[in-house]
Amino acid sequence: MTAAVGDVLRVENLIVRFGDRLVLDGTTLSVCAGELVGLVGPNGSGKTTLLRAIAALVPAHGVVWLTGHETSRLGPREVARKTARVAQSNSIDPALGLSVDEVVLAGRAPHLGRWQWEGRSDHAAAHAALRRTATIELSQRLIAELSGGERQRVFVARALAQESDLLLLDEPTANLDLGHQIRMLDLVRGLTHDDGLAALAAIHDLELAARFCDRLVLLHQGRIVANGPPAAVLRPELLAEVYGVRAVVEQNPHVRGLRVTVLGTDL
């Protein structure tokens, strides 16, 4: 079996075990260019593990294609050229004294040899990523001095500097205030819809996921139980099965997306 034409990412029957614990159980999904797909599901459903397995950071059985290439046949540097990951935790030791410009330029590492210094094209790619994420004015500041929202945009800029076709984002709005949550997801949607990237993002907030994502993938106990447009995935019966809640789901009258009201947990 091969990846379909147009798929930036294709995952077939992915299985991940940590010891005796089955974390992902036969996961199959795809993401196309220009598409933002949201991974939703309760804590422990396998969202972070799936993102890490796609990036070849944890051992897995099954097949992952990136732009038509099986990752099992690629080296770590080649995988990093094809996919850029923004982790849930992006702490950097303040003692390193790194500037924003240096952090973003680090995204060029997969394109450099072991002893190779960044060249003109690398600096141009970093500069373009800073501009695209509206962080150019922060370039000379220390990363440790930035707010949480500013740092998160810088880490997205570092991912963009890799010039990969696929973005993997693990809870990109975690620990951000409401305004920065909207700005972050609006940025990611712009990168897909306007710049043609493919993005797979684990998102905890169901209403934000429905508002910004083209498609949702609902994970439960390592299995995909629904995959489709937000309205087809966030159905009350599925929320009851996966989250154990009684909920009302309706169109949001104010913005594109859905409104999810949890009535209780007594099913």
pLDDT digits (tens, 9 = 90+) for 139-189: 999 998 998 889 989 999 999 999 999 999 999 988 888 998 999 999 999
52 has pLDDT over 80: yes
- Residues 195-206 have a mean pLDDT of 96
Ordered by where they begin, the domains of the chain are 7-264 (3.40.50.300)
* pTM of the predicted structure, to 2 decimals: 0.92
Q: Which of 174, 10, 145 is nearest to 86 (CA)?
A: 174
Q: Which of 96, 73, 191, 87 is nearest to 134 (CA)?
A: 191
d(CA 20, CA 144): 40
- Residues 115-144 have a mean pLDDT of 91
pLDDT digits (tens, 9 = 90+) for 71-101: 989 888 899 889 999 987 666 766 678 999 9
Percentage of the chain beyond pLDDT 70 is: 95
Contact 226, 238 (CB under 8 A): yes
Give the pLDDT of residue 267.
62
